[in-house]
Structure 1
C-alpha cells in the first residue's frame, strides 16, 4: 500500500511543553485509521500540524504522489492539496437547505464573479443527490439544515467535506452526542468514504472504534505508544497503564 501522508520526527512545543514529541505516522491512500489516547495526548495538535494550523518546530510532513512538504504551507493551500478536516461541533449553514449546503461545498471556481452568477447545472445536482444518499440525507434535501438533528448535521458536514473530494479526511470525535442508531450510520458513512480516500478518525468512544474495525494508533504525550488492531492495542500493557486503566 503506497503512502499518502507521512509524518516523521515531528515535534511541537508550547511554552516549553512538548505537545508533539518526535511523532511519526503514516497512512495509505484508501485507509481508515482511528487515533485514540488520553486527554493531552496530542490528538488535536496532530490534526493541527497536518492542516497547517500549527507549524512544527522540527520534522517532516510529506504529502501525495510527489511527497510535497506541508510544513510552512498555508491552511488554504493544504485544503486545495486535498486535505479536509471536520471539527467536533458541526458547522453548517442553518438557514440554507441541505441541498444548498452541499452545492456550496462542491469543488468549483470560487472567483467572486462566478460565485455571484452561479447556477447549479444537472451534473452539480446529480452529484449533490449522490452525496446526500451517501450520508443518509436524500429524504431531507429540501429541509433547512437548522431543523436537522445533531447527528444529521454531523453527516451533512461530512457530506460537505466529501463534496470537495479530499484525498484525506480528518474527523474529530464524530460519535459525540449521537444516538446509537446515528452512531451506526456514521460508522457506515466513514467506512464507505475510506474505500476511495484516507480517513483518520480521532475518537474516545471505544465501542465506536471497535465498529470501525480498522487499524488503531494510540498517542501518549505526543508520540505513538502503540499501533495495530483494537484487540492488539488494548492488550498492550503500556496502553492499559496510561489510558484504559483510568
Structure 2
C-alpha cells in the first residue's frame, strides 16, 4: 500500500480558537480509514482543509505519487485531482431519475471540459449498471431520486461520486438517519469502494465503525489522540476519558 495523502504539521485557528493543532497523518492507496472524535475535535475542519474549503495557517498536504502540494489550490482544482467529498446531507437531483443522476456524474467526472469529450458508449452504460449494482439501486434506476428513502439517497450520492473515479473519497457521517439494514449495506458499499481507492469515513456510530473493520484515527482538540484498530483505540484510557465516556460524539 502506497501513501496517497500526507498531512504534516497542519494548524488552523478561527478568531483565536485553534480548530486544528499540529495535525499529521498519512492515508494509503487503497485504504479505508475511520475518523472519530468528540464535538470540537476538528473532524469537519480536517475535511475542509483537505478539499480546499479552508486554508491552513501552517503545515503541508501532499497528494499522489508526485507528492503534489494541495496548499493554495481551489476546491475545483483539488476535485479535479481526484478528491471527492460526500456531506452528511445527501444532495441529489430529486426530479431526475436515479439513472439520470448517475449518467450526469459519468458525463462530468471532474469539470466542464469532460462534458465536451464525453461520448455515449457501451462502456459508459456498463459502468452505470455496475455502479447501480454496487449501491443496491439497480431496481430503482427509473425512479425519480426524490422518491428514494434517506438511505437510498445517500447511496445514490456515493454512486455519483464513484462515477467520477476519485482516488480519495471523504464521507461525512453516512450512518446518520439510516435504518439498521441501510447502515449494514452502507458499510458494504464503502468497504468495496476502498478496495481500489482511499476512503475516509468520519463517523460517531461505533457499531458502524466496527463493521467497517478498518484503521481508526481519533481526533481530539485538533490533533491525533490515538490510532489503530477500533479495539486498540477504545481501550486507550485517554480516549475513554475524552470521548467514549461522553454523549456528544458529533462535530
Q: TM-score range by the shorter chain?
A: over 0.9
In the TM superposition, structure 1's runs of 4+ consecutive aligned residues that sit over 4 Å from their partners are none
Q: What CA deviation, in whole Å up to 9, does each residue of 1:90-112 have, x standing for no partner?
A: 00000000010001001277349
| 1:165 paired residue number | 165
| 1:110 paired residue number | 112
Superposed counterparts of 1:1-20, under 5 Å: 1-20=1-20
Contact 2:105/2:164 (<8 A) preserved: yes
Superposed counterparts of 1:129-144, under 5 Å: 129-144=129-144
| 1:50 paired residue number | 50
* Structure 2 gap ranges (5+): 247-251
Cα distance in structure 2, aligned partners of 1:180 and 1:237 = 29
Query: 1:183 is paired with a residue of what secondary structure?
Result: helix
Superposed counterparts of 1:135-154, under 5 Å: 135-154=135-154
* Structure 1 gap ranges (5+): none
Cα distance in structure 2, aligned partners of 1:234 and 1:174 = 21
Query: 1:126 is paired with a residue of what secondary structure?
Result: helix
Give the drift of 1:124: 1.7
Q: What CA deviation, in whole Å up to 9, does each residue of 1:58-83 have, x standing for no partner?
A: 00000000000000001001000000
Query: 1:53 is paired with a residue of what secondary structure?
Result: coil
Pairs aligned (count): 244
Cα distance in structure 2, aligned partners of 1:242 and 1:113 = 48
Query: 2:112 is paired with a residue of what secondary structure?
Result: coil
Cα distance in structure 1, aligned partners of 2:231 and 2:74 = 38
Contact 2:80/2:111 (<8 A) preserved: no
Cα distance in structure 2, aligned partners of 1:111 and 1:134 = 27
Contact 1:102/1:160 (<8 A) preserved: yes
Query: 1:94 is paired with a residue of what secondary structure?
Result: coil
Query: 2:12 is paired with a residue of what secondary structure?
Result: strand
Superposed counterparts of 1:48-127, under 5 Å: 48-106=48-106, 107=109, 110-111=112-113, 114=116, 120-127=120-127
Give the drift of 1:2: 1.5
Query: 1:12 is paired with a residue of what secondary structure?
Result: strand
| 1:205 paired residue number | 205
Give the drift of 1:121: 2.8
Contact 1:103/1:120 (<8 A) preserved: no
Q: What CA deviation, in whole Å up to 9, does each residue of 1:158-214 have, x standing for no partner?
A: 000000000000000000000000000000000000000000000010000000000
Q: TM-score, normalised by structure 1?
A: 0.96
Q: TM-score, normalised by structure 2?
A: 0.94
